[in-house]
Amino acid sequence: MAELTYREAVIEGIAQEMRRDEKVVFLGEDIGKAGGVFKATVGLWDEFGDLRVRDTPISEQAILGAAMGAAMTGLRPIAEIMFSDFLAVCWDIVTNQIAKSRYMTGGQVDLPLVIRTANGGGARFGAQHSQSVENWAMMIPGIKVVAPSTPADVKGLLAAAIRDPDPVIFFEQKSLYATKGEVPDGEHVDEIGKAKVVREGDDVTILALALMVPRALEAAERLQAEAGISASVVDIRSLVPLDTQTILSQVKKTARVVTVEENPRLCGWGAEIASIIAEECFYDLDMPIVRITTPHIPLSSADELEDAMIPSADRIFETVRQEVD
């Protein structure tokens, strides 16, 4: 296995699928010669040329309108929206057109497209460039929602998303781009809709996504070492479809559950999962479900304030220790 950064895994996943299938095309702002604002598309233009890797105007509506048309006419486009916050600019195309066209045509029109976007905080970009908006997407029927936490998952899940017959929004946590991890050599394709138990434990289950996964793992190691609390950590990976089987099996095993979300507290994905747990295994629980979230206020660009708002490993550790002890 090679050790790659999260951003290099993005490049690997796209290149793998573009080499495999000439119908895969890629479009977005500054993705070509510039290699992307986060340098997550470096080298793709050099290999595949400007016919398949297309720089676009600064227009999210144009990018997704073109991607939708391309998908309807037989291509498999990847469209980059530079910051996930900017999905608000083109939300009508996503929710009323891309998400619904296959259903409204009775399956006559397929829309095999991927919307890649940099999501979340931690990079000091302020309230309009730091939101974690995967909860926006998961409420819309007709869209699959993926948010990987490791380079291996980036490559494998991105390949799976590109091959999927339905539209997928692929959220890349921008603070993870520089992190490293082992990635399988050669063709690597994962499965959308499967959570992963990344740490086994007996006392409490911590459910996390994207940036919150490494922080939950760090907290879990401290809980074991300093408090004798054995924590399972589940990487949700895919919000739609959601792997309730893995989640519920871990909750039943430990009888205690904590969700760790970068979303603002109101209507975060953890609230939906908490409701499922309450419906499916309420009598298996030994304590109330606990949600650790970002507060329901715009993110600050000030270092100290942003760090205080987004759940940290310390906050996860302290919250779980207080609830489980």
Residues identified as active-site: 129
Alpha-carbon span 319 to 103, nearest angstrom? 43
CA 34 to chain centre: 24
DSSP 41: S
Copy the structure tokens of residue 154.
């980036």
Angle in degrees, CA 114, 119, 124, rounded to 5: 155
Angle in degrees, CA 293, 297, 303, rounded to 5: 80
Angle in degrees, CA 318, 298, 93, rounded to 5: 120
Alpha-carbon span 295 to 311, nearest angstrom? 9
| Buried b / exposed e along 26-61 (16+ C-beta atoms within 10 A) | bbbbbbbeebbbbbbbbebbeebeeebbbebeeebe
Alpha-carbon span 206 to 219, nearest angstrom? 10
Alpha-carbon span 166 to 169, nearest angstrom? 10
Burial environment of residue 249 by CB neighbours within 10 A (0 to 12, 13 to 18, 19 or more):
middle
Strand ranges for 35-167 from DSSP E? 53-55, 76-83, 114-119, 144-146
Strand ranges for the chain from DSSP E? 2-5, 24-28, 53-55, 76-83, 114-119, 144-146, 168-173, 180-183, 196-199, 204-208, 231-235, 238-240, 257-264, 290-294
CA of 228: how far to CAs of 208, 221, 224, 231, in Å? 21, 10, 4, 10
